Amino acid sequence: MNLSFRNRIALYYMIATAIIVAIIFGVVYFVVKNSMYDNLDKDLSFEASKHAGELQLQGDKITFFNKAEWEENEHREIQINPVFIQIADANGKTMDKSPNLKNDELPFKDAQSYGLHFNTFLKDKAIRQIQKPIQSNGETKGYLIAAISLEPSIMVLLNLRNILIISYLLLLSVLYFISRYLAGRSIIPVKNITNTTNRITKNNLNERVALPEYQDELYDLSTGINKLLQRIENAIERERQFTSDASHELRTPLATLRGNLEVLIRKPRTQQEYEEKIDYCLSEIDTMSDTIEQLLLLARLDSSQEQINEEQISLNILINDILKQHQNDITIKNLRVIFENKIRENIELPKYYATLILDNIISNAIKYSKNKQTIQIILYASKRQVMCKIQDEGIGIKSEDIPNIFNHFFRSDALNHKSITGNGLGLSIAQKSAESINAEIEVKSELGKGSIFIVYFNK
Ligand code: ADP
């Protein structure tokens, strides 16, 4: 059954109330019925005891001694709910009866447990009856049967039942409309959320869902959706910024290239001039391809669909490999590199990510160090983590720039050192790679004094 949320709430509410009301009405009906029978039974018992005292025993014959008075009373009074009395002998044969029974006889039930009340019929009319033994000297001489008409009680019960059924149906239909109305009111905030989220497109991402008045579950839902929208907006903004930075970063060397080539063909040049310009252009092209390469790498790290090689490598071997690759720069700058491994055990890390992290940080340490300075690489471990500390005595980073160095294309004091090339993508790549393997990078740096990068790998 495909019901709307509103109708579903109304239906559940109705079913619950219908069950409760049905139970209450049922209890009311049975309490009334029982108390009615109780009263009838009390009256019957009273009448039976009263008339038991009006009997006279003559041998085996039992009769009423005041029958004449009785008959007279009956002529005088109109009995609303008359009590019928009958005397039967030990075999159930009628010996005497109250005048109001006329030609009729109350049914005798010998199998019936004596003294108990039961329902039976007198000429198709429902009656309630009691049958008491009449005893003399411990011997049952006969029975006193008392009965009272059940018709008025049955009528009352029937009326009560009809009233309860009609009011039950009425109540259910009123309840249906009330619960639909209430359910409709209580889901207004949900409708607001749907309307707002339907309205939001990439052009009005700054719109937010209005928060409901009360701090309930719908308030939490609205806040959750607003936070999600904020995250989406931030991500799209970052993407926009990245695209504009990337195109700017590629446009600048392209413009330089074009300028140089235009100048070059304006008039004939010497062989040496051609070689110098072409060398310059080639180095610009190399820089551009490096940037494109790194941009592609970043995009690959961003997309979770990319299946990255899970190959592992020993941390010790990895650092030695990286140092070997940069040996040329180390030698040119005459740097002193101290590598100290304080971990006894062999630490294996995902090769792809660990290389990206450590290669970028170590190559920065080399790049931003001055001639003859020292770079220290120390490996140490705690219970759960392995730390790799890379410390240099290079140009350092301004404290206000430290929070930004992991942003795409951000370059700090490097810009004041024109000879140090770069594009501001290395640490972004390192950071993204660290996130992929739940590693963390900590930076401490002082301008002019040097920097410390500590990478925390989980064991
Ligand atoms: P870049 O290509 O400019 O080196 P990175 O993303 O690797 O880009 O680094 C971002 C910026 O952080 C650098 O431009 C530089 O200003 C600063 N930086 C990174 N590492 C160091 C370091 N070891 N010493 C000084 N500055 C650093």
Tell me the domain boundaries of the chain: 5-158, 217-303, 312-458
Q: In Å, how far are 13, 160, 180, 346 from 171, measured between CA atoms? A: 13, 16, 14, 78
The finding on whether 417 has its CB within 6 A of some atom of ligand 1 is: no
Q: How far apart are alpha carbons 69 and 368 in whole angstroms?
A: 133
> pLDDT per residue over 34-85, tens digit each?
999 999 999 899 988 888 888 888 777 888 777 777 777 666 666 667 889 9
Tell which atom from ligand 1 comes closest to the C-alpha of 425.
6
Least confident of 234-248, 305-319, 397-411: 305-319
User: Which pLDDT score, from 0 to 100, does residue 77 have?
Assistant: 63
Residue 309 banded pLDDT, cuts 50, 70, 90: low
The finding on whether 368 has its CB within 6 A of some atom of ligand 1 is: yes
> In the sheet where 450-458 sits, what is the strand order?
336-341, 374-381, 385-391, 450-458, 440-446
pLDDT reading at 119 higher than 80: yes
Residue 150 banded pLDDT, cuts 50, 70, 90: very high
pTM tops 0.85: no
Q: How far apart are alpha carbons 98 and 105 in whole angstroms?
A: 10
Nearest CA to ligand 1 atom 25: 396
At residue 366, what is the residue type?
A: I
- Residue range 5-158 in CATH 3.10.20: no
When the pLDDT of each residue in the chain is averaged and rounded to a whole number, the result is 89
> In the sheet where 83-89 sits, what is the strand order?
94-97, 83-89, 139-149, 125-136, 117-122
User: Which pLDDT score, from 0 to 100, does residue 241 have?
Assistant: 85
Residue with tokens 């929070």: 403
**Over pLDDT 70: what percentage of the chain?**
95
> pLDDT per residue over 264-275, tens digit each?
999 998 999 999
In Å, how far from its chain's centre is CA 14?
A: 24
Mean pLDDT throughout 257-265? 92
The pair of three-digit structure tokens given for residue 113, joined into one six-digit string: 């447990």
Mutate to test the pocket of ligand 1, among 291, 405, 409, 443 (most ligand atoms within 8 A of CB): 405
Backbone angles phi, psi at 56, to 5 degrees: -130, 135
At the top level of CATH, the class of 217-303 is mainly alpha
The finding on whether 414 has its CB within 6 A of some atom of ligand 1 is: yes
Of 3.40.50.720, 3.30.565.10, 3.30.460.10, 3.30.56.10, which CATH number belongs to 312-458?
3.30.565.10
The finding on whether 424 has its CB within 6 A of some atom of ligand 1 is: yes
Cα(370) to centroid(ligand 1), Å = 14
User: Which pLDDT score, from 0 to 100, does residue 229 have?
Assistant: 92
Cα(396) to centroid(ligand 1), Å = 9
> pLDDT per residue over 170-208, tens digit each?
999 998 889 889 888 888 888 888 898 899 887 888 899
pLDDT reading at 456 higher than 60: yes
User: Which pLDDT score, from 0 to 100, does residue 440 have?
Assistant: 97
> pLDDT per residue over 313-367, tens digit each?
999 999 999 999 999 999 999 999 999 999 999 999 999 999 999 999 999 999 9
Highest mean pLDDT among 98-102, 167-171, 300-304: 167-171
User: Which pLDDT score, from 0 to 100, does residue 79 have?
Assistant: 64
pLDDT reading at 127 higher than 90: yes
User: Which pLDDT score, from 0 to 100, does residue 235 have?
Assistant: 87
Q: Who contacts 326 (Cβ-Cβ below 8 Å, separation ≥6)?
A: 362, 363, 366
At residue 211, what is the residue type?
A: L
User: Which pLDDT score, from 0 to 100, does residue 19 have?
Assistant: 94
User: Which pLDDT score, from 0 to 100, does residue 333 have?
Assistant: 96
- Positive or negative, the CA dihedral 266, 268, 271, 273 is negative
